[in-house]
Structure 1
């Protein structure tokens, strides 16, 4: 199940240029202060197709970063810096990143990362369609500034992972959510080595869709690495992780396959099935889907058991329900043959001039099949990350579970069921707390509830990609959460 939402011209040239250029050592005073030994590396500069590139090799990990500074693409706000390029996270494993400084108070603003889902979909979706510094208005062929960009408040890092997704290229070793986490950690370690001015910032993870898997696992893995650093068992840069935000996430198949049945019958837009069909599908869920999901646990379930559960639940529940009427599974209000939002940005990113300007060395692919198939082969989709999510909330990290209420594929019924099932000290109070109106400047934007460090929000009139549909709501929610606050009406 895909939950979202080329040619390698110039790669050999890059290898040749890099081998000639990697010669100068980065001095310990490079950034105006002492640089710890584990942060030292080699830096050099090359020009490709008229564009200047910086190349930095991180001595501690052997990771290499190759990037362009201030390409002039997307973020055109005067004085706001941006960096785009690749981090090599292994042998022939080149992960794409695009970083934008905060438009306000960049030197003190927190740092947030954005990951789209899939599995195997590019985070350029979020950058250009949802919450990045630019967007395409009314199908325009070129982008314009987005006044509701998340970098209004935070320094933003967008990452294409795993390898083979978006602009990332090379050999893809990732086969599951769990195996994806170490590569993202390695990318962040190299990022901080090149840009140590961001290493001590408060840090947030925001993600969507399959991010219901990615988000909890990445946060949990980062915390375990922080603990290992504190114990001295590994060397690295501690991440000051304070926030996890997931919109329209795929967290727990047991709860969310049932939610397909309930949402199809009882959503607030249009019923897709009758009462008798609802009863029939619930029976099918209980008899054929649920028992197989129960055999597939988050970690110990075998690949074959999990793949079997995923295939059976799709064939018996998800597939049939998604075909009972003409609707877009990412926005129930739209027809199936008119996916929304429009994907104007794809052809823009595939243009030679844009690729050259930003330093891209692989033709952009939004959601390629190959990375997805590796996850499918391990049954990763059918594994629950509810326990991992619970551990993240228990650790005190401010956590936001939110969803657009027109999305079918990761609908808010399932998201609320997951939020109520999170095990933490406030669970009973959270379950008993009624939802109330969530407003932005007095205008109703949804309903929400919050207890302790956990908040849940249903966003009115939004499909799968919430920030696209309700940008003002999304930015307010993002700011409040990054401030380590419970979300609240204004």
Structure 2
């Protein structure tokens, strides 16, 4: 309470603070809500009593989502001492009062979810190198209310003290943010809830989902105060889940992908020898001991022997082998836009945008987090009944579909044997060939044709169909 009064006093100096009427629920929990104006921009300030989280956000900035009648909110959640986590929320374009709620996380570790918002599945995108965005007809908020989150602290527009050094330590802060979001926007409590993520999301997705479910159990038992998160869907494209399986997939994919071989037969044999002699044993040591030193060593050994030299074995972009390495794709147009002073002011950002800063990444690297497997957590989530999809663009190298399929076939759940033995079948969108897939019960795998790392950028119609299907608690299916 003292923190809020102190902050309110500071805000009063900068602008004006007016007490906003509290709902009955706010009064019971002693939540605090007020308004402030600074530099001509109006902010809502909200303090969540249950978690101590503080929010400050702008309503309807006019940036990105310009569809009439569709509301948006952008700003910060204070999830810890000097820990200001950036969020950008867009209402669904259709039926927002009943539509489900979904979150989007980009990977890294340490990359901003504004990548997904502006390059992949958000309400606006940059077309043909334009300096300003236009509406994206395939935005995920066509179907769901969408919440984009920059985490951990230091990533994107988030700022302050970053104490997160692993996927496991990241999860509680994300849960705390969702709790504060529900307190401010209580109309979204109890909605069907989905987690969508990519790349290092192969770590984030399983761990966040499992942590949310553990917190739900603790809330039911009375040991934790909060709102249950009605998790019904988890979707991860081109994810990094398991080092042992996916370092091997670097070698296999480089030699035998469906576009063009990146290495020769003799090189393949040499890399496989290195993998079996050095990389795989180092990863196994990480898995067995769980120590930071063993896992960090595994990352170093496998990068030096496998990932590093393979990624430099030809002139190709590791995120899309069809593109040359000196012309990464998609273009970074959106970064300049988000660093514009007028945009920063309009959306309520308080720091300079950083897409993938080094500091958060280095913290994860220090604990060997990259080498740790999250197949166990993924298996638990699938076994709990959450509709789960692993999907991958088939032109991506860095988290290629060979490795993602190997991970999918290693998930332990009631349908595991049937899933592993099931052949891939054609996947279509309105009759057009889009990929190959298989599903057993609530678990699916999809290879997407003609897509690099950021699948929704390359194949937006496919991505939206996939998103809608799993958010309807359905295994994916052709149309």
Structure 1 and Structure 2 fold alike (TM over 0.5): yes
Residue 263 (structure 2) pairs with residue 268 (structure 1): no
**Among 328, 351, 368, which residue is 1:362 paired with?**
351
2:238 pairs with 1:244: no
Structure 2 contact 17–36 (Cα < 8 Å) conserved: no
Alignment partner, residue 452 of structure 1: 441
Task: Name the Cα RMSD after superposition.
Answer: 1.6
Picking from 330, 333, 352, the partner of 2:341 is 352
CA contact (8 A) 1:23 1:42 kept: no
Query: Within 2, Cα distance between the matches of 1:26 and 1:378?
Result: 46
- When normalised by structure 1's length, the TM-score is 0.94
Sort the Cα spacing of 1:35 and 1:57 in 2 relative to 1 into closer, same or farther, 3 A: closer
> How far apart are 1:19 and its partner, in Å?
8.2
How far apart are the structure 2 equivalents of 1:28 and 1:132?
Answer: 32
Q: Which residue of 2 aligns with 1:470?
A: 459
- 1:138 paired residue number: 128
> How far did 1:49 drift?
1.3
Q: Secondary structure of the equivalent of 1:421?
A: coil
Q: Offset at 1:16? A: 2.4
CA deviation vs aligned residue, 1:404-452 (integer Å, no higher than 9, x gap) = 0000000000000000000000001001111111000000000000000
Cα deviations by residue, 1:248-288 (Å, 9 ceiling, x for unpaired)? 00000000000000000000001001111111111110000
Secondary structure of the residue that 1:140 maps to in structure 2? Answer: coil
C-alpha separation between the residues in 2 aligned to 1:190 and 1:35?
12
Residue 4 of structure 1: aligned partner: none
* CA distance in structure 2 between the aligned counterparts of 1:368 and 1:15, rounded to whole angstroms: 33
Match of 1:95 in 2: 85
CA–CA distance in 2 between the matches of 1:36 and 1:154? 30
Q: Distance in 1 between matches of 2:130 and 2:448?
A: 26
C-alpha distance in structure 1 between counterparts of 2:88 and 2:385, whole Å: 29
Partner Cα distance (2:369, 2:123) in 1: 32
**TM-aligned CA deviation for residue 295 of structure 1:** 1.1
Q: Contact 2:61–2:73 (CA<8 Å) still a contact in 1?
A: yes
Gaps of 5+ in 2: 1-5
- Superposed CA deviations along residues 297-356 of structure 1, whole A, max 9, x for unmatched, are 29x511000000000000000001001100000000000010100000000000000000
| 1:15 CA displacement | 8.5
In the alignment, which residue of structure 2 is the partner of 1:149? 139
8 A Cα contact 2:111 2:356, kept in partner: yes
Instruction: Judge conservation of contact 1:124–1:160 (CA < 8 Å) in 2.
Output: yes
Q: Determine if contact 1:131/1:468 at 8 Å carries over to the other structure.
A: yes
For residue 405 of structure 1, the aligned residue among 362, 370, 394 is 394
Cα distance between partner residues in 1 of 2:408 and 2:92: 30
Q: What are the equivalent positions in structure 2 for 1:114-125 lying under 5 Å apart?
A: 114-125=104-115
Give me the whole-angstrom Cα distance separating, in 2, the residues matched to 1:293 and 1:16.
Answer: 51
Shift of 1:155: 0.1
Q: SS in structure 2 opposite 1:366?
A: coil
Q: CA offsets per residue over residues 73-110 of structure 1, 9 Å max, x none?
A: 00000000000000000111000000000000000000
Q: Provide runs of 4+ in structure 1 moved above 4 Å.
A: 12-15, 18-23
Would you say the 8 A contact 1:22–1:42 is kept in 2?
Answer: no
What corresponds to 1:395 in structure 2?
A: 384
In structure 2, relative to structure 1, the CA distance for the partners of 1:392 and 1:22 (3 Å cut) is: farther
- Please name the residue that 1:16 is paired with: 10
Q: Which secondary structure state, in structure 1, belongs to the residue aligned with residue 19 of structure 2?
A: coil
Tell me, in whole angstroms, the C-alpha distance in 2 between the residues paired with 1:416 and 1:456.
7
Question: 2:277 maps to which residue?
Answer: 287
Q: Distance in 1 between matches of 2:58 and 2:433?
A: 42
Query: Aligned to 1:312, what secondary structure does the other structure show?
Result: helix
Q: Give the 3-state SS of the residue equivalent to 2:409 in structure 1.
A: helix
Q: Is the 8 A contact 1:22 1:43 kept in 2?
A: no
Deviations 1:36-73 (A, max 9, x none): 834x5111111111110000011122111000000000
TM-score using structure 2 length: 0.97
Q: Which shifted more, 480-489 or 19-28? A: 19-28
Do the aligned residues in 2 keep the contact of 1:331 with 1:340 (CA within 8 Å)?
yes
Q: CA deviation at 1:24?
A: 3.4
Q: Contact (CA 8 Å) 2:33, 2:44: kept in 1 or not?
A: yes
Q: Number of aligned pairs? A: 473
Query: In structure 1, what is the Cα distance between the partners aligned to 2:9 and 2:152?
Result: 21
List gaps (5 residues or longer) in structure 1. 1-11
Cα–Cα, structure 1 residues 284 and 264, in superposed 2: closer, same or farther, change >3 Å? same
Q: Is 1:176–1:375's contact at 8 Å kept on the other side of the alignment?
A: yes
1:440 aligns with 2:429: yes
Distance 1:54 1:248, change over 3 A: same
**In the alignment, which of 22, 28, 35 is matched to residue 23 of structure 2?**
28
1:166 and 2:156 matched: yes
More deviation in 215-224 or 44-53? 44-53
State the shift of 1:13 in Å. Answer: 10
Counterpart mapping for 1:175-324 below 5 A: 175-297=165-287, 301-324=290-313
CA distance 1:243–1:304, shift in 2 (3 Å): same
Quick check: 1:25–1:41 contact (8 Å CA) kept in 2?
no
1:28 Cα deviation from its structure 2 partner:
3.0
Deviation of 1:35 after TM superposition, in Å, equals: 5.3
Q: Distance in 1 between matches of 2:33 and 2:396?
A: 46
CA gap of 1:392–1:50, structure 2 versus 1, over 3 A, is same
Tell me, in whole angstroms, the C-alpha distance in 2 between the residues paired with 1:134 and 1:274. 42
Deviation digits for residues 354-407 of structure 1 (CA, Å, limit 9, x no counterpart): 000000000000000000000000000000001111111111100000000000
